[in-house]
C-alpha cells in the first residue's frame, strides 16, 4: 500500500486541453504516489486517453504542469519522457507490425541503451539486447512466440506484447491504456494476474473499463467525467461515492450488460 506521506512520483496541476469547443481535460489535478497502482476510470469520452497522451507527450496541454520524479516534464517531447522512465501502452495496439515480436521488444531495450547512431554491427546479434527482450517476452507469456511477426499474432498476444515493450524500457511509471480492451475471459484473467505481479515492481497508472479488474487491482481510483476529476480515493470510498454512482457506475454497468 502506498505511503500517503511520500513525495508523489507524478504530479499533475491544473491541466487543460481543448479541442475546438470541447474541453477534453478540464483543469485537472492529480497525484500518483510511488509504488501504487492508480486506476483512472470514467465513462466513454471522459478524456482518459487524452490525459495519458498528455502525460507521455503525444499530446501537449494548453495549460497546466506535469511533474515527473520531481522534474517539470510539461514541454518535453515523448522520447525524452520515455528516457526518464515514463512508459505507456496504447489502447489501440500500436506496434511495429512488420517486425517480429522480439524485434519490437529489443528496440525498446535499445532505446534505453545509449544512442543508436551505430551503423555497422548487427543489432540482432547483440546478446544483451536480445536477452533483455527475451526476458520481457517470457514475463508476459510470449516466450515461445518471440520470432513471430506481429501481424501474425492474435489480438490477445499483441496486447501482451504492448506490455512487454513498455517493460523493456525499464520504466519507473507504467501507464496502461485499457490493457484488457478486446480480451476474452481467460486472456483478461491472465492479464490481471500479470498486473498483480508487476505492481510489486513498478508504479502503474491503469486506465480500464473492466470494473472487476479495476476494483481488484487498484490502491486508489480517480474518476473522470468530462475531463474533470469528480472523485479520488480508495476503491471502497469510490464504490460508495454518490456522485460517482450517479455519473458513472450505473451507466457503465448498463453498458457492460449490453456489450
Residues that bind other proteins (CB under 8 A): 56-58, 77-79, 82-83, 87-88, 90, 94-99, 103, 107-108, 110-112, 116-124, 126, 165, 168-169
In this structure, are residues 175 and 88 in contact, taking their beta carbons and an 8 Å threshold? Answer: yes
Distance CA 24, CA 200 (A): 32
Nearer to other proteins, 99 or 215 (CB): 99
Nearer to other proteins, 65 or 93 (CB): 93
Give the Å distances, CA to CA, from 171 to 43, 97, 237.
28, 23, 29
Report helix, strand or coil for 68.
strand
Nearer to other proteins, 76 or 238 (CB): 76
Stretch (H or E) spanning 224:
strand 220-225
Smallest separation, CB 198 to other proteins (Å) = 17
Smallest separation, CB 128 to other proteins (Å) = 12
**Four-residue CA torsion sign, 111, 11, 159, 195:** positive
Smallest separation, CB 113 to other proteins (Å) = 9
Smallest separation, CB 245 to other proteins (Å) = 35
Nearer to other proteins, 166 or 232 (CB): 166
Write phi, then psi, for 100 (nearest 5 degrees): -75, 165
Smallest separation, CB 205 to other proteins (Å) = 15
Smallest separation, CB 172 to other proteins (Å) = 13
Q: Which residues make Cβ contacts (< 8 Å) with residue 113, sequence separation at least 6?
A: 128, 129
Nearer to other proteins, 89 or 188 (CB): 89
Q: Which three cell numbers stand for residue 80?
A: 525524452
Nearer to other proteins, 167 or 247 (CB): 167
Stretch (H or E) spanning 186:
helix 185-198
Amino acid at each position: 500500500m502506498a505511503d500517503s506521506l511520500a513525495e508523489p512520483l507524478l504530479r499533475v496541476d491544473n491541466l487543460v486541453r481543448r479541442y475546438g469547443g470541447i474541453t477534453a481535460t478540464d483543469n485537472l489535478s492529480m497525484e500518483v504516489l510511488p509504488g501504487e497502482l492508480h486506476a483512472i476510470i470514467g465513462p466513454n469520452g471522459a478524456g482518459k486517453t487524452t490525459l495519458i497522451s498528455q502525460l507521455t507527450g503525444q499530446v501537449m496541454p494548453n495549460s497546466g504542469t506535469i511533474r515527473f520524479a520531481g522534474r517539470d516534464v510539461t514541454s518535453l517531447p515523448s522520447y525524452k519522457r520515455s528516457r526518464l522512465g515514463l512508459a505507456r501502452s496504447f489502447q489501440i495496439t500500436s506496434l511495429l507490425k512488420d517486425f517480429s515480436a522480439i524485434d519490437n521488444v529489443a528496440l525498446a531495450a535499445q532505446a534505453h541503451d545509449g544512442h543508436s547512431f551505430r551503423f555497422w554491427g548487427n543489432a540482432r546479434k547483440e546478446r544483451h539486447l536480445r536477452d533483455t527482450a527475451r526476458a520481457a517476452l517470457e514475463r508476459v507469456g510470449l516466450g515461445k512466440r518471440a520470432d513471430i511477426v506481429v501481424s501474425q499474432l492474435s489480438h490477445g498476444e499483441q496486447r501482451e506484447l504492448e506490455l512487454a515493450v513498455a517493460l523493456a524500457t525499464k520504466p519507473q511509471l507504467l501507464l496502461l491504456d485499457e490493457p484488457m480492451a478486446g480480451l476474452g475471459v481467460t486472456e483478461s484473467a491472465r492479464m490481471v494476474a500479470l498486473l498483480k505481479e508487476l505492481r510489486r515492481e513498478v508504479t502503474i497508472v491503469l486506465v480500464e473499463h473492466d470494473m472487476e479488474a479495476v476494483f481488484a487491482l487498484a490502491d486508489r481510483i480517480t474518476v473522470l467525467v468530462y475531463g474533470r476529476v469528480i472523485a479520488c480515493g480508495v476503491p471502497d470510498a469510490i464504490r460508495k461515492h454518490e456522485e460517482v454512482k450517479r455519473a458513472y457506475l450505473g451507466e457503465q454497468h448498463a453498458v457492460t450488460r449490453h456489450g
